[in-house]
Chain A
Amino acid sequence: MKFGLTHRALTSALATLGVLAIVLSGALPKASVALLLLGLAGALLATERFQQSTAARYTAAIVPSVLLGVELLRFVGGAPMLDLAVEFAAALQIVRLATRRGATHDQQVILLALLHLVAGTVLDKGIAYGFCLFGFLLLAPGALVLSHLRREVEGNYRQGARDRTGLPVDVPRILRSRRVIGPGFLALTCLLSLPIVVFTALLFILFPRVGLSLLLFQNQHALRSTGFSDTVDLSGVGAIRTDPAVVIRFRPPAMSDPPATRLVLRLRGTAFDEYRGGGHWSRTSSDRTVLSRMGSEVLLSRPGDPDRDAVYHFELEPLEPTVLFLPAHTVALRWPAAAGGATSRPPPLTRGAEETLRYEAPPDRVLRYDAYVAPAGELQDEALSDRERARYLQLPAELSTRTRELARTWTAGLATSAQKAAAIQRHLATEYHYTLTAPSGGKPDPIDDFLFVSHAGHCEFFSTAMSLLLREVNVPTRNVSGFVGGTYNRFGGFYAVRQGDAHSWVEAYLEAHGRGAWTTFDPTPAAGAQPIVESAGVAGTLREMFEAIAQGWDRYVIGYDLPTQVSLMLRMQRSLDSARKHVGYGDAVRSGAPLLRPLLLVLAVLALGGGARWLWRRRRVETETPATARARQQRVATELWLQLEEALSARGVARPRNVPPLRFTEQLRAEGRWPFADEAWILATRYAEARFGGVPLSAEEEREFARRVAVIRRPDAHSATTPPDARAT
């Protein structure tokens, strides 16, 4: 493969990963993302001819200044500085990529890609960044090596230079060469990522997590707020059921074998008591009370009992608003401890109106909690005062007469609130259609239109209609928002709740035997009240794998904190202690033979290794063919002769190139004025025998030869030695 082309491809890939780390963070406006992606594609397609042109030079000089000016203007206009800086950095990379010329520019591209990855750590903590980082890890060694080699080539070979054989060795020729690097080279550089990954993992695990928290700033763009929201507005039209992003993962207390593909679990987020007409729900109260914690547990109604209650394990992605989602009849919460007993510091919890639980912390990481859910038969008495009852029966004045009449018609002849609620739920679920297009959304009275005109809508229409109809027949209700999930992930072993699983249902206050409690009703037809179905086949499998990886990323990388680190260390220490006990270390110490068994083990391994190596080497020598042995002998002889020749040269007599070694030493002897001539002749004869006569040199002879050469080299070794030039008188 061509050196230049491979280098170009690797550098481009790194730059792409850097830009993607920024673009996929979701921090930038969609228009900016589109422009950046278009620019990136253009830069990647830019030809070398363009990059060498004057236009490219002007582009490289002018465009960054113009971009800087634009960003400054936007900053003055109130755009966030972080967004502008990141946008500018990405744009700078695109310009550099499109106009790069030579190794220096390529190194700038790599540097910018690295800085983009640094910026990405602030913008996004999702698995998308993880993939970019992994790609960088895989490609960076190769790109860095090739960039360095290219820089060396450009620095060491002049334009038009030629080698000893007269062939040009200029830079373009080397860049076109296929001999510099091959597939093996690329494989090797990719393999380099293996030790890099190992070392990175070690450092990641061992480096103490001591956040100083100086000059921190939070990137608000990283938060996700779609799917579930803190308000209800029926006039809005959306397609929330199509967003497959996972927001909650949970494990139920008992799973069938094999686990069910789908599980319908309603996770309550918040509720609304006041319907203001026109399709708007709100809350009349905004009071919050801080929930006290008992150790790692937060009581909602009573202490959790693992034997009695069903314990669900939840992982909540960062969402805005910072609401906790819980199944109905959750009595207590518990923050799970890391292995080893340490507990991550939990955020403070508050209970707001309509039993809305919120955590008071920036939503910057996955929140893990366990929910204790009371068994279905356990009736909780939730008394309702007259004032509260009036609040949950509130109806807007403009509620249409036919709506009121419909409520009475559907509940005619029914005595209890439960019967009324069941009847209304049945009518809605069977006589109305679920649709995402929400044809009644834009109408002045959406509920009236839904009930009498369109007969179709999404879950909020159904829940709102039921709430209003129940209130009309004197049953207190509230409109609940949350998620209904989820779909099973085979790879992660959890149920995934997605953005598209956002749902709305009704809680009605039902009284029986003098006790009252809020009961859940879901009037939405089954098509809209279930977790969205995963695409089957390869796409579904890939999605499950991706989500499982994302969970691992969140849990083991993003969520790795000081308590987890301490726990891990404690576990390691315990494992080590256990291993020591297993090999009898403690007994050996007590018996005065410390480390005896481990030492013996190490020695045995060393001895085995040494023996194997010795056998291998011996076998290698034994299997030496006559041809290779002869070649080795000749090489050794030549080396020795070169040493002798160098020694003679140091003494002032050097062999002319047209005189063979033996003849040369014979001439020295014939001249009769070199005291070392006889010695040189003897050595040359031995060299000739070994080199051409097939008489091998033993190891002892080799050493002796070298020793005698060393004697010749020393001027004082032969007392009569005098330079020939001086003896010419």
Chain B
Amino acid sequence: MAAVSEGSPTARSASSVASPTRRKTPRRLKITREGRYFLGITFGVGLAAINTGNNLLYLLLGVLLALILVSGMMSELALRALVVRRRLPTRAQVGRPHLVEIEVHNRKKRLPSYAIEVEDIRANQPADKRCFFLKVSPLSTQIAAYRRTPQRRGRESHVAFRVATRFPFGLFEKSKQIEVPGELVIYPAVHNVTLPPPRARTIGAGARAAARGASDEQLGLKPYRPGDDLRHVHWRKTAAVGQIVLREHAAEGAPDAELELDDRCPFLDRPAENEERRRWHDQFEARVRDVASRAVAHLARGDALQLHTASGTRLPGNPRLGSDPILRFLALLEPSPMDGKGTARPRRGGA
């Protein structure tokens, strides 16, 4: 059974440019292991030079310090005028790995940027995903991707990139943070379920199929009559036959399956032991997963379905639209209070 379906929102990120006209992003500097050795040698040579007055040691000290200086300048050049973009996948699901593409564009006209490391920073999560770009030529773009497997459903916020480089000598790591918000809705995990045999099509259902209405299901075509909604024009057919042709849609009828989900949490408005709360949440997540799995299975079989939550939310599922609306709804569903009437609340932030 397909775990994902089309129609799910595509998350995209905006671009951010370290433009010279903007205020300069603060840099962070970290000394690498090689840098510590280098600084140690420089310090030793400096001490020896001061102690002995040996001019050659002063020369060598100058060379070492100049290398440090040049390192700072070159790393700055490497980080300048880089545009970093994030390309999030069309859909992502708990337990299934997905790729996040990082695109780095070098806007410098002549200088390439070497050894650029881009770290994708997500809100409230450890920064463990990074992409490495050995060389980004002038006025060109490089794309790399990292693989990630989400562990929980909901809205995942990518907040920024940390662009770092140890270029040119590997003595220091200079980095800057570019705020680039991006969002990805993680669908609940879906497992294989065995569905009961489909219900025999009732007269009502057959009548539903024959009745015209405003559902998303298309019945057929009809010629245009004054008063018809022009939004339903089938342009290709209109062009083919030389007169305006409209799409006919089926009327909404009773679903083939109805799914119930208890999303009321007894602990939202009263204190509870952590263990109790955790157990309830585990059960709630299991129920979400189960509903998502059954919804996907029904839709894959072509069943229309209706999802009810105990807090009063209803959501129709149409096989033509795929499982994305249902999965997205379930991804963002939050527990409601026991006397709640209504709305599924997203996990973080506003929807």
Which residue numbers of A lie inside 8 Å of B, CB to CB?
Answer: 107, 111, 114-115, 117-118, 120-122, 125, 129, 133, 136-137, 140-141, 144-145, 147-149, 151-153, 156-157, 164, 174, 179-180, 185, 189, 192, 195-204, 207, 209-216, 557-558, 560-561, 639, 642-643, 645-646, 649-658, 670, 715, 722-726, 728-729
Contact = CB atoms under 8 A, between A and B. Distances in A.
Interface stretch (B196-204, B245-253, B308-316): B308-316
Nearest to B37: A111
Contact of A153 (B10, B134, B315): B134
A552 B50 CA distance: 23
A136 B63 contact: yes
Contact of B168 (A148, A156, A207, A561): A148
A103 to B, nearest CB: 9
B51 A214 contact: yes
Interface stretch (B270-278, B280-288, B341-349): B341-349
B218 interface: no
Given A133-B60, A199-B65, A646-B12, A725 B51 contact: no
A642 B14 contact: yes
A180 B74 CA distance: 17
A728 B315 contact: yes
A145 B351 contact: no
A198 B343 CA distance: 69
Q: 5 tightest CB-CB pairs across the interface, nearest first?
A: A211-B53, A654-B9, A200-B62, A148-B170, A723-B351
A118 B45 contact: yes
A632 to B, nearest CB: 13
A657 B115 contact: no
Interface in B62-83: 62-63, 65-67, 69-70, 73-74
A199 B45 contact: no
Contacts of B343: 722-723, 726
B17 to A, nearest CB: 10
Given A148-B166, A654-B10, A726-B313, A133 B63 contact: yes
B13 interface: yes
Contacts of A180: 134-135
B351 A725 contact: yes
A156 B132 contact: yes
Given A195-B70, A728-B329, A149 B134 contact: yes
Given A164-B143, A196-B70, A729-B315, 12 more contacts: A111-B37, A121-B57, A129-B56, A133-B60, A133-B63, A189-B168, A203-B61, A558-B55, A654-B11, A723-B344, A726-B343, A729-B312
Nearest to A153: B134
B51 A121 contact: no
B161 interface: no
Nearest to B53: A211
Interface of B: 6-15, 34, 37, 41, 45, 48-63, 65-67, 69-70, 73-74, 90, 112, 114-115, 132, 134-135, 143-145, 166-170, 181-183, 231, 312-316, 325, 328-329, 332-333, 342-344, 346, 350-351
A211 B70 contact: no
Contact of A725 (B45, B60, B112, B344): B344
Contact of A203 (B12, B58, B112, B145): B58
A706 to B, nearest CB: 11
A670 B143 CA distance: 37
Contacts, number: 202
A656 B55 contact: no
Contacts of A725: 313, 315, 325, 328-329, 332-333, 344, 351
A653 B63 contact: no
A194 B62 CA distance: 13
Given A145-B167, A149-B134, A725-B315, A656 B351 contact: no
Contact of B70 (A157, A192, A724, A726): A192
A452 B122 CA distance: 102
Which of A107, A118, A215, A715 has the largest number of chain B CB atoms within 10 A?
Answer: A118
A643 B10 contact: no
A423 B13 CA distance: 105
B267 to A, nearest CB: 22
Contacts of B74: 192
Which of B37, B183, B351 has the largest number of chain A CB atoms within 10 A?
Answer: B351
Contacts of B41: 111, 114-115, 118
Which of B56, B67, B313 has the largest number of chain A CB atoms within 10 A?
Answer: B56
A713 B332 CA distance: 18
Nearest to B56: A121
Contacts of B51: 211-216
Given A649-B11, A655-B10, A728-B313, A152 B166 contact: yes
Contact of B332 (A195, A216, A643, A723): A723
Contacts of A114: 41
Contacts of A655: 10
Provide the main secondary structure of the chain A interface: helix
B322 to A, nearest CB: 10
Nearest to B350: A715
B56 A212 contact: no
Nearest to A724: B325
A183 to B, nearest CB: 13
A347 to B, nearest CB: 16
A551 to B, nearest CB: 15
B65 A203 contact: yes
11 contacts: A118-B60, A129-B56, A136-B63, A141-B168, A157-B132, A164-B145, A192-B168, A196-B70, A654-B11, A656-B90, A724-B325
B6 A656 contact: yes
Nearest to A120: B56
Contacts of A137: 63
A204 B59 contact: yes
A219 to B, nearest CB: 11
Contacts of B57: 118, 121
B120 to A, nearest CB: 15
A210 B66 CA distance: 21
Given A141-B168, A174-B134, A649-B10, A196 B67 contact: yes
A493 to B, nearest CB: 23
B138 to A, nearest CB: 10
A147 B59 CA distance: 24
Given A121-B54, A211-B53, A557-B55, A145 B169 contact: yes
B163 to A, nearest CB: 15
A145 B168 contact: yes
B14 A643 contact: yes
B63 A645 contact: no
Nearest to B131: A156
A121 B53 CA distance: 11
Contacts of A639: 15
A144 B66 contact: no
A152 B115 CA distance: 7
A189 B335 CA distance: 60
Contact of B60 (A121, A189, A645): A121
A599 B41 CA distance: 43
A244 to B, nearest CB: 24
B302 to A, nearest CB: 20
A63 B68 CA distance: 34
Given A140-B67, A192-B70, A656-B7, A646 B115 contact: no
A200 B66 CA distance: 6
A210 B53 CA distance: 6
A123 B182 CA distance: 61
Contacts of B90: 656-657
Nearest to B333: A725
Contact of A726 (B134, B135, B166, B344): B344
A397 to B, nearest CB: 53
Nearest to A140: B67
Contacts of A192: 70, 74, 168
B315 to A, nearest CB: 4
Contacts of A213: 51-53
Given A149-B134, A195-B69, A728-B315, A211 B168 contact: no
B169 A144 contact: yes
Contacts of B183: 649-650
